């Protein structure tokens, strides 16, 4: 009986909603509707692509290690998910275009709109950002300083000089100048049968020894042309927009922030870790000693979640 209860607790719910006029996928472990009695919510803000299914193992581990006390949600980026048959990519094409909801600023406003609509103001937030999700967290905290943020966990943060990083130098021409060529390739891939797409993804991931197989199907979903095109459009804006580190917001919230940098992260060189640590000697900055990759969800979601639990257990009351 206990095993059955645990299995039910470990089974998430997936909701599709319109937020800022665009399709949004929300993955939820624990309570699916929040009320004033919920003291704490873990909210995951993903990297790019902003596909919540990538974070399933990470979220499940957080939820179980905190004794199933705190709901753990992840909100996708606008338009980074395949809509169910009954819904379209956008609810209102003109308003979505006007707000540039698929662009970086639009995605930030999208997260603010989601929080305002779905999270009671009295609920304390533990924000967990990955990659560009960390930049979005800083912007959310800046634009709504009254949010009750208990902690903000910044995993492999891309919060500055993205185009100057080794990976940024490779991807900037692709995302900013050759995007439409890539769109054509994605369109052709989207025409393949689902079984062949799955086989291709497994082939691409074949070199990852400890692959978390729960990421395969979300990756197949990305081969829907619209999702990948929206991710690339956002990525191009990241290269042009994420320039200087927002030291003002970091300084104002330093006691709430925990940064975790990769030791071999081509999106965020180790020098960035040393620079921010020097600028904020009293901040909580950690450098990976475990060899975790930037896309940690591919094979070490459970291990990273266990670290996060260790870091913040003392900050959460039961």
294 is annotated as an active-site residue: yes
Distance of CA 225 to the CA centre of its chain: 20
The active-site residue, picked from 80, 131, 226, 299, is: 131
The active-site residue, picked from 38, 80, 226, 265, is: 265
Three-state SS for the chain is: CHHHHHHHHCCCEEEEEEECCEEEEEEEECCCCCCCCCCEEEEEECCCCCCHHHHHHHHHHHHHHCCCCCCEEEECCCCCCCCCCCCCCECCHHHHHHCCCCCHHHHHHHHHHHHHHHCCCCCEEEEEEECHHHHHHHHHHHHCCCCCEEEEEEECCCCCCHHHCHHHHHHHHHHHHCHHHHHHHHHHHHCCCHHHHHHHHHHHHHHCCCCCHHHHHHHHHHCCHHHHHHHHHHHHHHHHHCCCCCHHHHHHCHHHEEEEECCCCCCCCHHHHHHHHHHCCCCEEEECCCCCCCCHHHCCHHHHHHHHHHHHHHHCCC
Give me the half-sphere count of Cα atoms (radius 13 Å) on the Cβ side of residue 207.
1
265 is annotated as an active-site residue: yes
The active-site residue, picked from 38, 77, 130, 294, is: 294
70 is annotated as an active-site residue: no
- Cβ partners under 8 Å of residue 84, min gap 6: 16
CB atoms within 10 A of CB 35: 9
Residues involved in catalysis: 131, 265, 294
């Amino acid at each position: 009986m206990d095993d059955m209860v645990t299995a039910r607790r470990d089974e998430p719910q997936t909701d599709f909603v319109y937020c800022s006029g665009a399709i949004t996928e929300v993955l939820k472990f624990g309570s699916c509707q929040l009320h004033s009695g919920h003291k704490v919510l873990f909210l995951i803000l993903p990297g790019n692509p902003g596909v919540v299914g990538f974070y399933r193992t990470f979220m499940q581990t957080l939820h179980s290690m905190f004794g199933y006390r705190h709901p753990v949600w992840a909100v996708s980026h606008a338009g980074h998910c395949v809509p169910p048959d009954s819904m379209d990519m956008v609810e209102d094409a003109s308003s979505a275009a006007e707000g540039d909801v698929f662009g970086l600023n639009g995605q930030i406003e999208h997260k603010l709109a989601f929080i305002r609509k779905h999270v009671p103001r009295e609920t304390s937030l533990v924000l967990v950002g990955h990659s560009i999700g960390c930049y979005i967290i800083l912007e959310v905290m800046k634009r709504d300083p009254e949010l009750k943020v208990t902690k903000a966990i910044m995993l492999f943060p891309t919060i500055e000089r993205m185009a100057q990083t080794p990976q940024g130098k490779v991807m900037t021409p692709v995302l900013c100048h050759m995007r439409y060529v890539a769109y054509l390739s994605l369109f052709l891939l989207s025409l393949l049968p689902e079984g062949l797409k799955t086989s291709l993804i497994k082939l691409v991931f074949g070199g990852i020894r400890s692959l978390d197989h729960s990421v395969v199907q979300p990756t197949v979903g990305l081969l829907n042309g619209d999702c990948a095109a929206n991710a690339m459009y956002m990525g191009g804006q990241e290269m042009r927009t994420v320039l200087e580190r927002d030291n003002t917001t970091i300084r104002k919230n330093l006691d709430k922030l925990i940064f975790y940098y990769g030791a071999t992260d081509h999106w965020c060189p180790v020098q960035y870790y040393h620079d921010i640590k020097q600028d904020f000697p009293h901040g909580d900055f950690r450098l990976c000693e475990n060899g975790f990759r930037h896309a940690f969800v591919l094979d070490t979601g459970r291990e990273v979640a266990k670290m996060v639990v260790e870091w913040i257990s003392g900050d959460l009351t039961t």
